[in-house]
Structure 1
Amino acid sequence: MRSLHRSSALALLVALPLAASAHTGVDGGMHHGFAAGFLHPLTGADHLAAMVAVGLWSALTARRAWPDLLWAPLGFAVMLLVGALVGLAGVQLPAVEPMIAASLLVLGLLVATQRRLPALAAASLVGAFAVFHGVAHGQELAGESGAALTLAGMLAATVLLHVAGIAIGWALRHGHRWAPRLAGAAVAVFGVALLGGLA
């Protein structure tokens, strides 16, 4: 049974970078309501990879399940919401897309190296990147009605993706040590590719 769980986790890990292109949204754009908000992070490979990578990194580097496992995912989710509200308010931040791409590079390297950081530093690092992910979402919703429900759905999907990353990372903590390193490297390369596309 343990082998089956690890194989499933490995399959999810390998498929992670192969999701749809960044910011495609539902039907090519951002629609509104809880369901649309929930689906949006699942249809952009940049957000999907970042959110799963945060959970994966947390699980791989946590010294104990509680509370170490939750600092980085909580920091990401909270600051994603802050960023989304900033974007909704029409505030413009510079270099949003490059920072999202940079987040993939950094998170991928953290997963690949399994670098352990103090809890507050981990939450602050991923939280800083999450602001830019949130701003990108919020700007797509600016001036639209039903934004609160859409944001609620987006936040729910974010938490679910963190949980998925944590589950995969926890399953791989004591075996298949090459698999998370390979997945981290793939996410980092994805980030480099996005940065190259923006140049």
Structure 2
Amino acid sequence: MSSSRPSARTTARSVTPLGAVVEGALAGAAGTLAMDGLLYGRYRRGGGTRDFLGWELSRDVRTWDDAPAPAQVGRRLVEGLFARRLPDRRAAFVNNVTHAGYGALNGAVFGVVAGSLPAARVRHGIPFGVGVWAFGYAVLPAAKLYRPIWTYDRATLAKDLSAHLVYGLTTASAFTLLRGRRRTRAVR
């Protein structure tokens, strides 16, 4: 005989596919901000003097020549899709949109995968962060925006990996919170 009562095991609120995408994107945005906080701290410890908002919004990016990889990826996407050149004055804006969008998009993917599991776990952020890190080192060299991974020293790769682990773990934590896991106990 079937009962509509929850089992004594931990249960999680079910999430719709759209809910998983939205909650994942929001979690990815939180993960991106946490990663940026770590990177900004490293920047300041290394002698950087800009305030967080100026650093975060790429206010020193004036041309495509000084634009980082996210800006270059965004530029290629926009120019390829619309067959229209973007002026230098758009470099910082494209960098910001691409960086935030990539973090949110990866979070949405995480949300779909984690939302299909019986319960999202913070520890799922570890392989997720490693995967996002590895994907960048596979795709960006092919796009001629990074050098091949084997040309970077261990310290550089470790710093980048640790930042992506912060991203992954924060994304997983935020998704778990947004998903609203609830523990229920069966009435005995």
TM-score normalised to structure 1 length: 0.29
Structure possessing the higher radius of gyration over alpha carbons: 2
- For CA contacts below 8 A with separation 6 or more, give which structure has more relative contact order: 2
| Greater fraction helix | 1
TM-score normalised to structure 2 length: 0.30
